[in-house]
Amino acid sequence: MSFFNYRNNLIHAAVAAALATINIFIVLTLDPPNLAQGVFGNIFYIHVPVAWSAFLLYFAVMVCGIFFLTKKSIEWDHRGLACAEVGTLFMFLVLTTGPIWAKPAWGFFWPWEPRLTTSLVLFLIFLGYFMLRQFGGNPEQVSRYAAVVGILAFLDVPLIFLSVKFWLPEMQSHPQVGQYFDSANPLPTYLVIFSFISLLVLSSLMVRFRTNILSMKDAS
Amino acid sequence: MLIHLILKDLKIEWRSKEIITSMFIFGLSITLIFALAFQVAPGLIHAFASGLLWVVILFTSVLGLNRLFSLEREEHAMWSWTSAPVDRGTVYIAKVFSALIFVLMSELLFIVPFFIFLNLPANFSFFQLALILFLGTGAIVSVGCLISGITLQAGLRDVLIPILLFPSASPVAIAATKCTGFLFDKKPLADWNFWLLILCSFFVVFGLFGYLVFNRIVEE
């Protein structure tokens, strides 16, 4: 039976689609808080929640990796791989929307800002992760190796973040984010949280769908 | 037992001399290319020297890490190696120490030509340089041995090691370059001990992580 033949999955998909549509409508029609940045200012409502989701998904890869190495159940490997795939897609979006926003905000496309740099490094490690999945040897061993790389990648995060933060000290301020989180006007904060929730619903659907396919492939 | 495992690698290397020799010659060749490529602006060399040194070390380490684990693979000695009467974490620690010794030896050999070819003044504390080289190399090989172990059975091993190692070791590249740069500028240790701490934490975190998961990596 196909994934969408189940009622729960269909409801999950419908909610994800509705939330995503509302989210896109808000982002496209709302006046940006900083008019100098023009319409690009609104990319914040996508860029930041996508980045949060991507980091959360990579964190999930680590958790799945730990469970796989301790419990040795193949289900955890499928979940880990699904999270890694969706996380890398989201990370790609972070790395695309980041420069689009950086151009009007900073004046150039690539600021070596700690969060953006950490995203790039993680993205590159995960490209290696997929290479390893593809060419790493026999499938049973590759699952274990991939779990180790997933954990390794997330262990690296604090060290990368700290090094980049103090590498270019003048880059550590991120004033553009501050403009949005203002206690006098809480609307942008709510919108970011709404966008994050809509992305969480969407990404969880993607992960479940992908896990389902991987399990069926494995069973056949 | 740890000492026996390290002595085994040292004895093999003493007889064949293949790893240190190849790393030394490779390091020398890259130094030559750098010296030629930067001839147009010799004034720039001093500013870039610390970065160049660590690029050479990272590249030569990849060569060494690749060879170090190939010994067991080529001679099918994998199982006699991992069946040493100690836990496999110790086997990993032994490999880290052998790799550290080999890479440090090759660094000792090519660092003199590096300074001569690039016309760099050598008026700084050699003890501090040795400390930076030890910690930086230790950090690289701690994550490098883990990656080398992961890719042991992979078809694309030569490609996978740098693909996974370079992004994972990016904090080492930043911290080690910063330390060396401060040292070349004769800044007091108090100005850059933060970066030594980053190198130290990287070494310890990935050393411990490798010790914990190596059992899972080499299991049949």
Helix, strand or coil for residue A109? coil
CB–CB contact A163 B150 (8 Å): no
The answer to whether residue A164 neighbours chain B at the CB level (below 8 Å) is yes
pLDDT at A178: 64
CB–CB contact B167 A128 (8 Å): yes
User: Per the structure block, which two tokens stand in for A134?
Assistant: 């593809």
CB–CB contact A136 B153 (8 Å): yes
CB–CB contact A153 B168 (8 Å): yes
Checking if the pLDDT of B75 tops 80, the result is no
Q: B121 or B219: which carries more pLDDT confidence?
A: B121
pLDDT at A175: 55
Residue A72, sorted as left (phi over 0), alpha (psi -120 to 50) or beta, turns out to be: left
**H or E segment at A66?**
helix A44-71
Length of chain B: 220
CB B117 within 8 A of CB B111: no
CB–CB contact A136 B151 (8 Å): yes
Q: What residues in chain B have their Cβ under 8 A from chain A's Cβ atoms?
A: 143, 146, 150-151, 153-156, 159-160, 163-164, 166-168, 170-171, 174-175, 178, 194, 198, 201-202, 205-206, 209, 213, 216-217, 219
Average pLDDT over residues B178-192: 89
Residues of chain A with pLDDT under 50: none
DSSP string, A16-55: HHHHHHHHHHHHHHSPPS-GGGGGGGGGHHHHHHHHHHHH
The C-alpha angle with vertex A66 and arms to B73 and B1, in degrees rounded to 5, equals 45
Among candidate residues A199, A204, A205, A186, the one with its CA nearest the CA of residue A23: A199
pLDDT at A22: 93
Residue B145, min C-alpha distance to chain A (Å): 13
Q: Which of A121, A148, A166 sits opposite B213 (nearest CB)?
A: A148
Angstrom distances, CA of residue B23 to CA of A201, B69, B107: 51, 15, 9
Q: Whole-prediction pTM value?
A: 0.91
Number of domains within chain B = 1
Q: Rounded to an integer, what distance in angstroms lies between the CA atom of residue A213 and that of residue A8?
A: 17
The answer to whether residue A128 neighbours chain B at the CB level (below 8 Å) is yes
pLDDT at B88: 85
Checking if the pLDDT of B102 tops 90, the result is yes
Residue B14, min C-alpha distance to chain A (Å): 31
Give the start-end residues of each E strand in B35-103.
none
Q: Which of B146, B155, B164 sits opposite A125 (nearest CB)?
A: B164
Q: B197 or A113: which carries more pLDDT confidence?
A: B197
Q: Rounded to an integer, what distance in angstroms lies between the CA atom of residue B217 and that of residue B183?
A: 38
Checking if the pLDDT of B123 tops 90, the result is no
Q: Which of B164, B205, B216 sits opposite A155 (nearest CB)?
A: B205
Q: Which of B198, B202, B217 sits opposite A145 (nearest CB)?
A: B217
Checking if the pLDDT of B164 tops 90, the result is yes
Q: Rounded to an integer, what distance in angstroms lies between the CA atom of residue A74 and that of residue A6?
A: 23
Q: Which of A132, A148, A156 sits opposite B160 (nearest CB)?
A: A132
CB B30 within 8 A of CB B56: yes
pLDDT one-digit tens code per residue, B9-59: 899 889 988 899 999 999 999 999 988 887 756 677 888 889 999 999 999
Q: Rounded to an integer, what distance in angstroms lies between the CA atom of residue A202 and that of residue B197?
A: 40
User: Per the structure block, which two tokens stand in for B189?
Assistant: 């240790």
Residue A19, min C-alpha distance to chain B (Å): 35
CB–CB contact B163 A131 (8 Å): yes
Q: Which domain holds residue B22?
A: 2-218
Angstrom distances, CA of residue A165 to CA of A59, A106, A159, B69, B169: 21, 17, 10, 35, 16
pLDDT at A38: 67
Q: Rounded to an integer, what distance in angstroms lies between the CA atom of residue B16 and that of residue B18?
A: 5
Q: B217 or A179: which carries more pLDDT confidence?
A: B217
| A70: chain B residues, CB-CB within 8 Å | none
CB–CB contact A128 B154 (8 Å): no
| A144: chain B residues, CB-CB within 8 Å | 216-217, 219
The C-alpha angle with vertex B143 and arms to B140 and B144, in degrees rounded to 5, equals 70
The interface predicted TM-score (ipTM) is 0.90
**H or E segment at A134?**
helix A114-135
Which of B88, B92, B140, B174 would you mutate first to test chain A, the one with the most A CBs within 10 A?
A: B174
